[in-house]
Amino acid sequence: MCLILLLTCRYAFAQSWQEASDEHFIVYFIDNDKFAKDVLDKAELYYRDIASELGYPRYSEFWTWDKRVKIYIYPNHDSFLKATGQPQWSEGMADYNAKAIMSYAWSQGFVDSLLPHEMAHLIFRDFVGFKGEIPLWLDEGVAQWAEKPKREHIKALAKQCFDNDSILSLEDMMKLDIRKVTSTDRVYIRSTRTKEGERGVLFLSGDNLVNTYYLQSVSLVGFLIERFGSLSFASFCRELRDGKSLEQAISGAYGDHMRTLAELEDQWREYLSKQ
């Protein structure tokens, strides 16, 4: 009870919160109880789908009782921005430390897109923690892969990038902190490899670099899950959680198929070529 009160104060609103709860979630709302109930029902469904697809079959034991995730639904966009301090374009956010998700009633795409995206971030980080060397592309790829309606479109775009020889090298992605790419006017020079295996360079605007990075992130996660299955993906994440390097984790989980970052890239590119 103290935890719930603390979180409610943290994201306080002038009116009193109402709440709806289920096994793994508590939804706080001001009005629009129908929307809140829809959010709660979808959250429980997404929880099981995401945990199963990521290969975490025992995960249902984690978000129960006082460990349930809190979802705050503000009555409108302005009240959401005021309470959270998010930028004007933001439609929602997740707070890892508080295990809370915030948005507002009837936010465009919230139930179908943003909710599973932010939930996947929380589930993934609850499983792997923050101590291991977890690549940013893996975290972001997992969250985007949870947005099922977008998968086919994402596959088509990734295939297009591959066909146009505009794929970032995986080595480059490992070095790049995409969160620091803030300039849309600047031209970024990144390494690539053509379909014929020749080395090359890409000249990308900030927007194109960010879009390409996130597109490849979800494509890589989709490849690992579709090609080798959820249990192997869970093993891969567990190796990273336990402090293994990326190549050690690849070898530990996928050793019969690939052992190095270069081999991962080769097999991913082959996967793209057959899309």
Looking at 75, 108, 128, the residue that finishes a domain is 128
Residue 3 has pLDDT above 80, yes or no: no
Q: Which pLDDT does position 73 carry in this prediction?
A: 93
Rounded average pLDDT over 136-161 = 95
Report, as an integer, the average pLDDT of 242-254: 95
State the chain's mean pLDDT as an integer: 88
Are 244 and 167 in the same domain?
A: yes
Which tokens belong to 44? 């429980």
Residues 41 and 69 occupy one common structural domain? yes
> Taking the mean position of all CA atoms in its chain, how far away is CA 78?
25
81: Cα within 13 Å, side-chain hemisphere:
9
In this structure, the answer to whether residues 257 and 181 fall within a common structural domain is yes
Is 147 found in the same domain as 122?
Answer: no
Express as a percent the part of the chain with pLDDT over 90: 60
Give residue-wise pLDDT tens across range 35-84.
899 999 999 999 999 988 898 866 556 787 788 999 999 989 999 999 99
Residue 8 domain-assigned (yes or no):
no
Choice among 34-48, 185-199, 253-267 with the minimum mean pLDDT: 185-199
Name the pTM for this structure: 0.87
Look at residue 91 and tell me if it is in a domain: yes
E strand or H helix at 21, and its extent? Answer: strand 18-21
For residues 117 and 208, state if they share a domain.
no
Share of the chain above pLDDT 70, in %: 93
Tell me what the mean pLDDT of segment 117-125 comes to: 91
Checking if the pLDDT of 217 tops 90, the result is yes
CA 200 to chain centre: 29
Helices 206-228 and 230-241, interaxial angle, to 10°?
120
pLDDT at 131: 83
Domain hosting 115: range is: 14-128
- The whole-number average pLDDT for the span 121-150 is 91
| 27, part of any domain | yes
150 falls within a domain: yes
Judge whether 4 lies within some domain. no
Q: Does residue 2 carry a pLDDT above 60? A: no
Domain boundary among 104, 128, 152: 128
What's residue 59's pLDDT?
55
Identify whether 6 is part of a domain: no
142 and 122 inside one domain: no
Tell me how far apart the alpha carbons of residues 223 and 86 are, in angstroms, rounded to a whole number: 33
pLDDT in the model for residue 222: 97
Enumerate residues 6+ apart whose C-beta is below 8 A from 82: none
Look up the CATH number of the domain holding residue 32: 3.40.30.160
What's the confidence (pLDDT) of residue 140?
Answer: 93
Please tell me whether residues 90 and 108 are part of one structural domain.
yes
The stretch 198-210 carries a mean pLDDT of 91
Based on the domain organization, do 40 and 80 belong to the same domain? yes
Model confidence band, residue 6 (pLDDT cutoffs 50, 70, 90): very low
pLDDT of 57 reads: 65
Residues 196, 268 within the same domain: yes
Nearest of 60, 52, 131, 130 to residue 97 by alpha carbon: 130
Q: How confident is the model at residue 126 (pLDDT cuts 50, 70, 90)?
A: confident
Instruction: Tell me if 9 is assigned to some domain.
Output: no
Residue 191 lies in a domain: yes
Both 209 and 230 in one domain: the answer is yes
In the block, tokens 């567990």 appear at 238
The predicted model gives 18-39 an average pLDDT of: 91
- Report angle CA 71, 136, 232 to the nearest 5 degrees: 90
The residue out of 128, 158, 186 marking a domain boundary is 128
Q: How confident is the model at residue 13 (pLDDT cuts 50, 70, 90)?
A: low
Q: What's the total number of domains in the chain?
A: 2
Claim to verify: residue 175 and residue 254 sit in the same structural domain: yes
Residues 112 and 201 in one domain: no
